[in-house]
Amino acid sequence: MGKIYRKLTVILFLCLLIYIKIQNETRQHFVEDQKRFYQRFSLNFPPKTSQSLEQWRHASTSCPLELLDDVASRWKPMVKLNPNRFLLPILKNGPNNQLSGLRDSIYISIRLNRTIVLPRFFKHRTDDAKEGTVYPRHRIDLQRLQKLIHYVTMDEFRNKSGGTIDAIFRVRPVSKPRYLYYERLTGINITDERSHLMKSVQLYPREELMADKRTLSIGSSRNELLDYYGSEKKYALFAQPFGNLKFSR
């Protein structure tokens, strides 16, 4: 019996050593992952001050996406745009169409030299929880976007514009109920007390370019875009673009 106990003791001891080794390796992998994560977001690792220590502790229990909220202040964009003129897209349809509309909006913002406003995104109409909006960082890589162009958030746009707009860029005729929808969506004043479009808001393009056209099809050249949307107005809303730009092959 004594030999059996000694063998069991040795086996248990070896199992304990293996367990300790696995724990140490797991802990080391965790530390390495944390190190790479913090280097990515330019945080101190290992923590050197009480503030960085608190940041380090917070990272182990928080979602890394939360740190992307202030990504607009971290990168110098490739394309510099006018910081005093803005383009606020209102997207439409499902997720893929919304991304297509954002792509066109970014292109036009570059051509017209306007800072893009991060728009609202929506779930697909077949989603059971389709009510409400989707955070932009859940649809696009904000870090990559900021490396391309500078953008502002919806809140920043409202603060800069005083909660209003002075131009609407149309791709199709826009009805009065649609203006009210834009107001509810953005929290920006577009209509007056009688639910009519405010007189200070200018519509683009001019009416002769909209005549008898259900949906515009616009060339991608800067001259043509200026013909449709050339404006000195600062705060422009881009009303539900999707598939309106024609790109030459």
**Helices (DSSP H) in 41-126: which residue ranges?**
50-59, 95-111
| pLDDT, tens only, 159-216 | 999 999 999 999 999 988 999 999 998 999 999 888 889 999 999 998 888 866 678 8
Q: Is residue 76 part of a domain?
A: no
Residues 90 and 153 reside in one and the same domain? yes
Q: State the Cα–Cα distance between residues 88 and 111, nearest whole angstrom.
A: 15
Residues 173 and 113 reside in one and the same domain? yes
Above pLDDT 90, what percent of the chain?
A: 40
Residues 39 and 122 reside in one and the same domain? no
Q: Is residue 140 part of a domain?
A: yes
| pLDDT, tens only, 30-63 | 556 555 544 544 444 455 555 454 554 454 444 4
Q: Is residue 197 part of a domain?
A: yes
Given a cut of 60, whether residue 219 has pLDDT beyond it is: yes
Q: Is residue 201 part of a domain?
A: yes
How far is the first Cα of the chain from the last one, in angstroms, to the nearest whole number?
A: 86
CB atoms within 10 A of CB 234: 15
CATH of the domain at 128: 3.40.50
Residues 40 and 162 reside in one and the same domain? no
Longest dimension (CA), the chain: 103
Q: Is residue 70 part of a domain?
A: no
Residues 54 and 109 reside in one and the same domain? no
Q: Is residue 93 part of a domain?
A: yes
The mean per-residue pLDDT over the stretch 78-105 comes to 93
**Least confident piece of the model among 22-36, 118-132, 134-148, 225-239:** 22-36
Number of separate domains in the chain: 2
Residues 171 and 210 reside in one and the same domain? yes
The mean per-residue pLDDT over the stretch 71-97 comes to 86
Picking from 98, 81, 111, the residue whose alpha carbon sits closest to that of residue 140 is: 98
Q: What tokens appear for 108 in the block?
A: 């036009």
Q: Is 100 helix (H, G, I), strand (E, B) or coil?
A: helix
Residues 155 and 235 reside in one and the same domain? yes
Residues 203 and 152 reside in one and the same domain? yes
Residues 90 and 19 reside in one and the same domain? no
The confidence band for 135, taking pLDDT boundaries of 50, 70 and 90, is confident
Q: Is residue 69 part of a domain?
A: no
Domain that holds residue 52: 2-62
Mean per-residue pLDDT of the chain: 79
Residues 37 and 159 reside in one and the same domain? no
Residues 55 and 115 reside in one and the same domain? no
Picking from 151, 159, 146, the residue whose alpha carbon sits closest to that of residue 75 is: 146
Residues 168 and 191 sit within 8 Å (Cβ to Cβ): no
Strand partners, 238: 89, 169
Residues 95 and 213 reside in one and the same domain? yes
Instruction: Report if pTM > 0.75.
Output: no
Q: Is residue 158 part of a domain?
A: yes
